[in-house]
Amino acid sequence: MHHFSPSIQVWYRQNYRKLPWRETRNAYKIWLSEVIMQQTRVNQGISYYKKFVEHYPDVSKLAAAEEQEVLRLWQGLGYYSRARNLHFAAQQVVNEFNGVFPDNFKDIKSLKGVGDYTASAIASFAFDLPYAVLDGNAFRVLSRYFNDDTPIDTGQGAKIFKAYADDVLNKEDPAEFNQAIMEIGAMVCKPKNPDCENCPLADTCLAFNEGVPTSLPVKSKKVKVTTRHFHYFIFPSQEIQLIKREGKGIWQNMYEFPVLELEGKKLKSEIKTLVQKKFRVNLLKKISEEKHILTHQHINATFWEVDERLKDGGIVKVDLETINDLPLPRLIERFLEENVGLFME
């Protein structure tokens, strides 16, 4: 067995954070935690994990839920396709595996939204199967340990780092080993200020001894960010008018104010003409402007007051009490919090 393994597992036993999903071997709960924890801070993830386990204690309960209810529970976590995939995959488990969470890598990976990393995590944590996990933390630890600057987001990088991960994996105890390598990455081998002096791998880490740990790992591609301009139209009243966001893309099946998405910046006079044509109402004044930052998109949102109720077939009417029953993007939720007076007598 590679000497890498015992040293990080000893460190892990002494330093690991107590997290609720580390106290179970239930594959359903482990899967739930893995999906919730993608792109999420641990503190925030814990509260959502507990909420989901409480609402849906087993996979059949999640499968039987309405998508709208799942999205509402997910509200605030972002990346809503994760929630939709979660719901769809629960239905797969019920329909294709008789409600029993699959216990082998191939079947686990067949679930919607589950890739190599998540399938490896569930297979090792729930069933002790010898699959090495490769999340961002593991990539960072391995690229520094082997001082390898192959870009991790390329086909070649994926192969090389998978080989490293398989080489160092403790096949006798893959569950603890995988937890340990990720925890080292999260707590010691951090992106900007790695604590190399207190790292159990320092003696044999090539980047620490021969290179520059913070220059690794290397990525070849930069995230392309698009800027979008949303114009929301609001008639101040206790009866709040919302519209369901259809089609693929951000916030699918969530609710927002009636909206026009326009290219680039527009003059008020242009917006006035467009809103008259689409909703048959007149523009009065600008209420506020907000910038909403997502990983791949920057949304410039302008909220406008209009002179009467909007006319559109898809409009849903709610009040402040029932609005919480609907899944809302954080941008809309924040506007409501800051402008609650518009919707009261």
Give the pLDDT band (50/70/90) at residue 187: very high
**Residue 131 sits in the same domain as residue 274:** no
Residue 337 falls inside a structural domain? yes
Which CATH number belongs to the domain containing residue 255 in this structure? 3.90.79.10
Residue 272 falls inside a structural domain? yes
Each residue of 257-270: pLDDT tens digit? 999 999 988 899 99
Q: Would residue 34 show up in a list of annotated catalytic residues for this protein?
A: yes
**Residue 107 sits in the same domain as residue 132:** yes
**Residue 40 sits in the same domain as residue 156:** yes
Each residue of 284-316: pLDDT tens digit? 999 999 999 887 899 999 999 999 999 877 899
**Residue 168 sits in the same domain as residue 302:** no
pLDDT of residue 1 exceeding 50, the answer is no
Residue 220 falls inside a structural domain? no
Give me the pLDDT at residue 2, please: 61
- Last residue in a domain, options 183, 215, 247: 215
- Last residue in a domain, options 215, 235, 255: 215
To the nearest whole number, what is the mean pLDDT of the chain? 94
Which CATH number belongs to the domain containing residue 105 in this structure? 1.10.340.30
Token pair listed for 161: 């780092």
Q: Which residue is catalytic, options 23, 34, 239, 246?
A: 34
Percent of the chain past pLDDT 90, that is, above it, reads 89
Token pair listed for 254: 């969530």
Kind and range of the H or E element at 210? helix 206-210
Give me the pLDDT at residue 222, please: 73
Residue 68 falls inside a structural domain? yes
Distance CA 159, CA 151 (A): 11
DSSP 247-259: SSSTTTT-EESSE
Domain of residue 199: give its range: 4-215
Residue 24 falls inside a structural domain? yes
> In total, how many domains does the chain have?
2
Beta strands 297-306 and 226-234 are parallel
Stretch 238-243: mean pLDDT: 96
Residue 151 falls inside a structural domain? yes
